[in-house]
Homo-oligomer: A and B are copies of this chain.
């Protein structure tokens, strides 16, 4: 490896590996060669290769797994429209063949002060909390924690588990229509749980939405915090 002055060695190596990936050099196995092999190839220390790979992992281009190797992870982005009629299934609908929601866990709990305010509940009232993930074509595209007023939506957990769709689960609870009142969007680094459920690398980016849905009478029916892998999802707001 030639030492260009002013550019760190690991950066140069990172650029070359990225170029190799884009050129399809490793397409057969879908993996980057072992760190020791790359170190030898570029004539540098294994640490230097690791720094280069860490940068690529940051970009979401590769994903390292202990004992297995460093896999290449390149995929297209889903576009997720956000608006008054936002519905997950319809939004992703045409972009994926296989779409499913999976209920991870559910619980009945007392609403926190903040949550009670958002859902316009009285202090002490109970809510149903549902944790779930959504997959499109086998790839995890979101991870949600949702809260519903417990009294009105008893049984929505099983309805969601069976249908895999919030819209259909709400229909079973007598809500034929609902609208998205407000959506907040922010971005953070992936937490350990994100890494597991969304199949990300530590340090990857997660887009976070906090959304309130109401029924046609403007009564809050659901508050949801959803986390999306930023390398697989973007949002579109049409006005």
> Which residue numbers of A lie inside 8 Å of B, CB to CB?
58-59, 77, 79, 82-84, 86, 179-189, 203, 205, 207, 230, 233-239
Contact = CB atoms under 8 A, between A and B. Distances in A.
Contact of A205 (B179, B205, B233): B205
A179 B239 contact: yes
Contacts of A182: 236-239
Nearest to A60: B189
B58 A230 contact: no
Nearest to A211: B237
A236 B205 contact: no
A46 to B, nearest CB: 14
| Identical chains bound together, number | 2
Given A185-B185, A203-B203, A237 B237 contact: yes
A28 to B, nearest CB: 28
A187 B232 CA distance: 10
Given A59-B189, A203-B203, A205-B205, A184 B235 contact: yes
A187 B189 contact: no
A186 B77 contact: yes
Contacts of A86: 239
